[in-house]
Structure 1
Amino acid sequence: MHDARALIDMGAEAVRRLARRGYSLDLSVLESLQSRRNQNIRSADELRAESKRVASEVQQTAKQGGDIAKLKERAREIKDQIREIEADQERVQEELRSLLLSIPNIPDDRAPDGDSEEFAVEVRRVGTPPAFSFEPKDHVDLGEATGIFDFARATKLSGPRFAVSRGAGAALERALAALFLDLHTRRHGYVEHAVPFLVTRKTMTGTGQLPKFEEDLFKTGTADRELFLIPTAEVPLTNLYADEIIPPSELPVALTAHTPCFRSEAGSYGRDTRGLIRQHQFGKVEMVRICAPEDADAELEKMIGHAEACLKELGLAYRVVTLAAGDTGFAAQLTYDLEVWFPSQNTYREISSVSNFGTFQARRANIRTRGTDGKPKLVATLNGSGLPIGRTLAALLEQCQQQDGSIVLPESLVPYLGFRRISADGTPEA
């Protein structure tokens, strides 16, 4: 969320930068609402001051035995005028708030121009994609051949875009989550949290999912209580500090959690519907960092490294790219994607997005710290996947497949699994 005055002061620069992400900012509408808001405040203050003066005159005139009828009439008129102004002020305030909530974050100038993944700029490649002497299978064929996935029964239970993992597949999901959490907590200093999977509208608004992306969310509730299933642990983790002032000595805050994520994927039907790439429910380990705004760039680099550490621990080939301004998420200023190699598609696919939101989410959720002058100021928030379980599992199966249909897993997972190999028939083997 933006400060209206800051956008107006930026003027044409705000229009230019928001246009890079495909948003057309009408400054005249913003200025008109801000002007009406300020005028209402001034008018109401002036009328309240007059109301006090008239009340004083009523008392003095009454004491002197004078006629107070006209003064009382004026007092009633003032009260009516104040009510009218306050009603208009409420309407203007809501209209202004709705407009501000709809404006995306201003992209960082370091984000390249463009509006799709085609315009992403590669930063680096790590690892060598495996070369096979046979035609590599995709993760769906591998999982169904070994029996560790059952998509048909998942569809019977919940419809399309769900999965059932079993045996070694279910053990792999659990092992990946445990490995990632251990890396983040023991090596990177994050504090693990267990958070609610159902949150309020206010919570969803704080991190920017609402009001714009309501169609992408699963909503539930009971009686008059409205709740949303979280699309990512970023939502509850960041909002833990909503309406709070974090002491500077406690920054940066580093949080992590393993949760299910629920997404309707509205508008994405027909894309990546096969297998584990794009599902309505999936597990993910999330990282969130909260810091002073001046430290955000350094914290972003740390988080990229923390996400990369997960892929390196698994020995997976991947690359890092900077997303184009028009392909950056609604609340983000700057986003780096980690893309892992999928042999069956002969390409890199996104597996983690690591973003700096600046003060955008903090303003919406009212998360602050104190500056050197002791006065409250907004913090910066950052988040990244570290990592999604399903997509990591899919990439792992594809990069680690053998000609005989077995899967040889990385050594780092053995302490969590108790086995190193999944045979062609799905049997775990040491």
Structure 2
Amino acid sequence: MKEDFLHYVWKYKCFSKFDLKTSNNEHISILKSGLHNKNAGPDFLNAQLKIGNHNWVGNVEIHLKSSDWYLHNHEKDKNYDAVILHVVWEDDVAVFMKNNTPLPTLILKYFVNENVLQNYRNLLLSPLNWIPCEKNITTANDFILSNWKERLFFERLERKSATIEILLKNENYNFEAVLFQLLAKNFGLKINGDAFLRLAQSVDFLIVKKLGFDTHQLASLLFGQAGFLEDKIEDEYHQQLKNEYEYLKHKYQLKNISKNEFSFFRMRPNNFPTIRIAQLVALFHKHQNLFSKVLEINKLKDFYELFSVEVDSFWKTHYTFEKISKSSPKKLTNSFIDLLIINTIIPLKFLYQKSRGEVNENFFIDVLNMIKPEKNNIISKFENLGISSKNAFDTQALLELKNSYCTPKKCLSCAIGIQILNK
């Protein structure tokens, strides 16, 4: 038994309200159960109760044991002087108010519905399940599940926005600069993402923007900052970039990172960091004001067109500086662009709209409804449980469900968990 379960029971009145009595045998009528307080202080504020023959307005405090009142030093805290009812599972010690009369106490275990208790045990006390409700999740009402997915999706956006907000503060809210950093991170995918972010942060974006008009200079800058121009390689293109970078490095007082931070191991050639840097160069050479263009676009096909870029001719026949390979265009695939939209464009555009107080929720939902569902271990396991995903909106919601609710067992804050408990 956990205290948050008692909060749930009181909040949703999952107990018999007929003949409800205090430990001193006084009748209780609940007019208002109060506002759930998740900050410091009593658990439910501004409740309205009738205890015995008296009407009371005040706060409700909930504990597993009445002795927790003293364990938490509430008797010394003025914030608890207005508590009018102590709700407990076990009444093991008397608690007194300031006037030395016993604080009215409700022993909840005598009134809770047995079905609710059994559902709680099945849901939250089963340590071997991948998710607590894996045996019942398919019984969730479609309407409730649909609305819950929408809330999960926007909770995920809010959480991603909090991370982006830090980057924006560091860049004085330059959205173009942060877009460059986020795209770089996502170009690096999971393995090289952190290294690509360090690369993007190793140079002032104003320099990137200034050199973006010249693809040769921009390539020199990014490959040089990534440490790929330090080796002696018998190749004319490499030498040209190296000479240009030495000039840029001196002019802008640059300090590069090590190429050893980037991994080629167990990666497909199209995901080699050299190819991803070449694609990043092509993208920021083609679009001088990329974020402004992102703001204008509202359709998925236009995003695909925006990110349709071609690498320099050298990289069409190379995966690294050292070795020639069969010619291929090495364009960004639609599936890769989908990842950029999900992990970069949507969160950053959401944060921008939020900062202006004009969030268009339908845009975000509509775009992700057009993107194919993501493929990963979590989505596959939900599929095995009978929860399928039609698009990226569904998969983003399920990822949030698993990571923010199922894993920490926050079933009492989950619409699905609440429905199962109430059966």
Which TM-score band (shorter chain)?
under 0.3
**TM-score, normalised relative to structure 2:** 0.20
Structure number with the bigger relative contact order (C-alpha 8 A, sep ≥ 6) is: 1
Q: Which has the larger radius of gyration?
A: 2
**TM-score, normalised relative to structure 1:** 0.20
Which structure: greater strand fraction? Answer: 1
